Amino acid sequence: MNDRDIVGGLAVLVISVVGLVASMRVPSETTTQFGGGFYPGFLSVCLGVCGLIILVEGVLKREKVPVPKFEWGKVLPVLGSLVLYCLLFPILDFRIVTAIFLAICMFAFGVRRPLQLMAVAIGGSLVVFYVFTLGFNVVLN
């Protein structure tokens, strides 16, 4: 059994069912049968067929492939600091929030030298800020 494909196939099936249900709820125009839900519904059915085949192939396969393991201890700090960055982005000054993000993210990756942390965080945020605002006319608060 290929557990990786079984779980993957199931996930695809779930997405296709959600897509199909959502497509059926799209109000159709009265002038044509090919309304807004027709095409995504068609895609969802095709996706469902793919998911089903991946699932069945996974069950029938002889080679044993386990469900992939996630190193959450390494991934979550990056993901968490990205989410924090997005949350603080509209609240704080861009330079401050970017410096905070860079410092947290680098610390999570194992940078421990204070001088390096500060130099990259502050220098990086300033360079990005001025390149985008002065060079490319992007408005960053």
Partner 1 sequence: MVNVLTGLGAVVTPSALLWNLIGVVIGIVFGALPGLTATQAVAIFTPLTFVMPFTISMSFLLGIYCGGYYGGAITAILLRTPGAPGNAATCMDGYPMAQKGQAGKALAIAVMASWLGGELSALALMVGAPALSLIALRFGPPEYFAIGLLGLVCVAGISEGNILKGVAGGLAGMLLATIGMDPISGRPRFTLGIQGLMAGVALIPALVGLFAITEVLAKAEQMELGKKDQLITEYDIALPTKREWWESRWTLLKGTIIGVIVGVLPGTGPTIASWMSYQEAKRSSKHPELFGTGITEGVMATEVANNAVTGGALIPLLTLGVPGDSVTAVLLGSLMIQGLTPGPLLIRNNPALVSQLFWILIIANAFMLAIGLGAARAFPQILRIPMRILLPIICVLCIVGSYAVNNSLFDVWMVVLIGFVGFVASKFGFQVAPIVLGFILGPIIEPNFRRALITSGGSPLVFVTRPFSLGILILAGLLLAFILYRQRSGGVAGEAVKEPDMA
Q: How far is the CB of 64 from partner 1 (least distance, A)?
A: 14
Half-sphere exposure at residue 47, Cβ-oriented, CA atoms within 13 angstroms: 18
Q: How far is the CB of 1 from partner 1 (least distance, A)?
A: 15
The 8-class DSSP code of residue 134 comes to I
Q: Does 34 bind partner 1 (CB under 8 A)?
A: yes
Among 33, 62, 114, 134, binds partner 1 (CB under 8 A): 33
Among 14, 46, 60, 118, binds partner 1 (CB under 8 A): 46
Instruction: Looking at residues 50 to 109 of the shown chain, list those that interact with partner 1 (rule: CB under 8 A).
Output: 50-51, 53-54, 57, 68, 70-71, 74-75, 77-79, 81-83, 85-86, 89-90, 98, 101-102, 105-106, 109
> Which among 141, 127, 138 has a CA at the least distance from the CA of 91?
141
Q: What is each CA distance from 30 to 36, 38, 43, 116, 135, in whole angstroms?
A: 11, 13, 22, 64, 50
Residue 16: exposed, middle, or buried by beta-carbon count in 10 A (0-12, 13-18, 19+)?
Answer: buried
Q: What is each CA distance from 87 to 32, 84, 98, 124, in whole angstroms?
A: 44, 5, 12, 20
**Which residues in this chain contact partner 1 in the complex, by CB under 8 A?**
4-5, 7-8, 11-12, 15, 19, 22, 26-27, 29, 32-40, 43-44, 46-47, 50-51, 53-54, 57, 68, 70-71, 74-75, 77-79, 81-83, 85-86, 89-90, 98, 101-102, 105-106, 109-111, 116, 120, 124-125, 128, 132, 135-140
